Chain A
């Protein structure tokens, strides 16, 4: 399989050079076309790679793993969205995204314990209440960070803001055992049953209900977010702030409100992600979101920070990579994924969908 992929890559590079020499030389906007060609060929190579991998592990296994990993994909997508939203409005990478979300998960777990002890609600009501509480707590923490800390930091360069988010990580790490106790907690899944999907010419596939719910929640949240970005005044403000904060504020956009809301919404996304992530074999501990955090960063740079959609595609891609890699070799899964991402980013330093901004000398 690896040899086949190598042949494909070689062929792609050859094709690229050939087209570049033969056709693009004579064209006017050579650079633009060259970049487009490169994108197209890279997409092709990735797709072929997927095809080979699926062939090697059989379509059934692939589909089954993807179905089982849906919840992780949703979590990654939600976390990445939060990071990108904050990057767009505050020009900083938020290292605290995962930790804030962990606080949300702890709150949810504690709330479930409290409700079970004190009332006789059905499980589904308790879970919905817990989900909402997780999102609300994270929203408030995000709001707090922006309004209290970021707005009062006197010299706010990107690295300084990054440092502040790292400080927040440490503070929350220290606070959580004090607030929620030293023991790991658990969050129940929505349902432990699943659907059997029958496809022609194949064994029946199993889809856990929890994954289905997670997918629905994620899609609903993403659709709402993108609709808001596209159609509301807040969305316009976010896009304006992302393009240039100073100009936006001079044009009468209330950038402070927009940044604060973005922090809050990013926090809420993280809270929901942590709530969904906790039941799939993960006890809620202080650092249970760290792998998601790392993967979300990698997804963001794989897609490129310059667009909203790119990082989401990056998140999906990383999840697919790790699904396939775990089927091929379960010990070195993460190494395979990281090396793949590293190579892709080295080939396209600004991400798969990144745009270059020229620097003036």
Chain B
């Protein structure tokens, strides 16, 4: 009885811990987005004030015949626009002249067109001077008047500048203040959550029952024990056992039809194993039996998989595909989604930022808004890989990641897999036919044939193993 209550309490604590962690990660991710939004607003307001200051000075500057840089640039642009317009008109004139000459070789045509060109030239000159006048004082004035205008301009510009500076400092101060306030409040919340998490974790670890450790050693993440899978009369996996340690890259190899994908499907619960059990260390205190979980709960335990043939949502952009993969991370309920509450919008922003960072890591940013139709196969495979990184993975299961890739892409993939292991602190478990890739990236390799284990060890050991060689190359041992 006491034990039952204890385990129940532990369950509650775990739940609480997960919630707190979710909250903390949300706050941590949302803070930079918030700060960026504040800074963007500040930049927008600053540009607006500058614009206004310039506009206020425009009139006095023209009156005082002073070519301020802004005014000069404006004048240049206006003149260039007129030049461009007349360039086209001249071209049109030349074209119609050509056509007229083709029709008749009358010398009168030449003279008419020369006349028209002159007319156009004079019109252009007139327009240019008229335009230039817009930026100069329109009146003939005495020196004293001009001096007075200049003085007025000086005064006005000082006033405007002073005002703009004041505004700008105010804006900056406001933004700084609000950034500081947000940062402080978020950080204090994060720190508070951190304390709570530590406290709950402390209790959890202190109260943990001994059987978790007795079930499997501390550094093992996934332990497959005596797994068997039978389809009708065919024994696809036969009494197989192996351990995947935390933070390693574990490779599963074997000839075609050896039952590799079947093992994956058993672990991710697509198939119900005939016998045997899969143990998984969910966190520091909990070891769970994967046999007890339905397919769609596996990802919540931190196990994410890819598929042999690419299985994307073809109607959605790459970014949205990544958001689909983050499905389990959303906390907003159905009614929140129905009314698009601010909570959902904040969550979406956080997820988008995360998706962009993942895309950046894998070098997929240019494709973020593309539809997967018609993208090259290598890119699609990478998108599948990117998808696994969206839902806090602890164990990533890759089913033939290099199938269909060329040599260069495979090399890139090897680098990428190692990078993912290091950056996301995930353990990687892969099935692959490409021996080069497997030997290159894997720390431990398990070789199987017809559902039976042949050998387990480092790449060098596997290469030296006689059974493996005979299975692959048909050598007589």
Contact = CB atoms under 8 A, between A and B. Distances in A.
A219 to B, nearest CB: 38
Contacts of A31: 232
A29 B233 contact: yes
Contacts of B233: 28-29
A31 B232 CA distance: 6
B161 interface: no
User: What bracket does the count of chain A residues touching chain B fall in?
Assistant: under 10
Contacts of A28: 233
Contact of B265 (A29, A32, A361): A361
B270 A29 contact: no
A29 B307 contact: no
A29 B232 CA distance: 5
Interface in B227-256: 232-233
Contacts of B307: 361
Given A361-B265, A361-B307, A32 B270 contact: no
Interface in A25-42: 28-29, 31-32
A239 B265 CA distance: 34
Interface in B199-250: 232-233
Contacts of B265: 361
Q: Which of A28, A29, A32, A361 neighbours the largest number of chain B CB atoms within 10 Å of its CB?
A: A361
A79 to B, nearest CB: 37
Nearest to A31: B232
A47 B102 CA distance: 98
Interface in B321-375: none
B32 to A, nearest CB: 38
B457 to A, nearest CB: 29
Interface in B287-330: 307
A28 B234 CA distance: 10
Interface in A11-33: 28-29, 31-32
Interface residues of B, number: 6
A127 B72 CA distance: 99
Contacts of A32: 232
A31 B271 CA distance: 14
Contacts of A29: 232-233
A31 B229 CA distance: 13
B272 to A, nearest CB: 12
A1 B261 CA distance: 52
A28 B233 CA distance: 6
Nearest to B274: A30
B270 A361 contact: yes
Contacts of B232: 29, 31-32
Contacts of B270: 361
A195 B265 CA distance: 64
A29 B307 CA distance: 29
B321 to A, nearest CB: 18
A153 to B, nearest CB: 20
A361 B267 CA distance: 13
Q: Which of B232, B261, B265, B270 neighbours the largest number of chain A CB atoms within 10 Å of its CB?
A: B232
A81 to B, nearest CB: 32
B134 to A, nearest CB: 60
A150 B318 CA distance: 34
Contacts of A361: 261, 265, 270, 307
A361 B265 CA distance: 8
Contacts of B261: 361
Nearest to A359: B270
A255 B265 CA distance: 37
A172 to B, nearest CB: 33
Interface in B250-284: 261, 265, 270
A128 to B, nearest CB: 53
Nearest to A358: B231
A29 B235 CA distance: 11
A27 to B, nearest CB: 10
A303 B29 CA distance: 56
Nearest to B271: A361
A29 B230 CA distance: 10
Nearest to B268: A361
B61 to A, nearest CB: 65
A29 B274 CA distance: 13
A176 to B, nearest CB: 39
A361 B308 CA distance: 8
A361 B270 CA distance: 8
A361 B268 CA distance: 11
A159 to B, nearest CB: 15
B431 to A, nearest CB: 13
Nearest to A28: B233
A99 to B, nearest CB: 33
A31 B231 CA distance: 9
A31 B233 CA distance: 9
B206 to A, nearest CB: 42
Nearest to A32: B232
A24 to B, nearest CB: 13
B258 to A, nearest CB: 16
A29 B233 CA distance: 5
A343 to B, nearest CB: 26
Nearest to B265: A361
Nearest to B311: A361
A34 to B, nearest CB: 11
A28 B261 CA distance: 23
B451 to A, nearest CB: 16
Nearest to B261: A361
A157 to B, nearest CB: 13
Q: Which of B233, B265, B270, B307 neighbours the largest number of chain A CB atoms within 10 Å of its CB?
A: B233
A249 B230 CA distance: 35
A20 to B, nearest CB: 15
A231 B265 CA distance: 43
A31 B307 CA distance: 27
A358 to B, nearest CB: 8
A353 to B, nearest CB: 19
A321 to B, nearest CB: 34
A237 B44 CA distance: 72
B238 to A, nearest CB: 14
9 contacts: A28-B233, A29-B232, A29-B233, A31-B232, A32-B232, A361-B261, A361-B265, A361-B270, A361-B307
Given A361-B270, A361-B307, 4 more contacts: A28-B233, A29-B232, A31-B232, A32-B232
Interface of A: 28-29, 31-32, 361
| Nearest 9 interchain pairs by C-beta | A29-B233, A361-B270, A29-B232, A31-B232, A28-B233, A361-B265, A32-B232, A361-B307, A361-B261
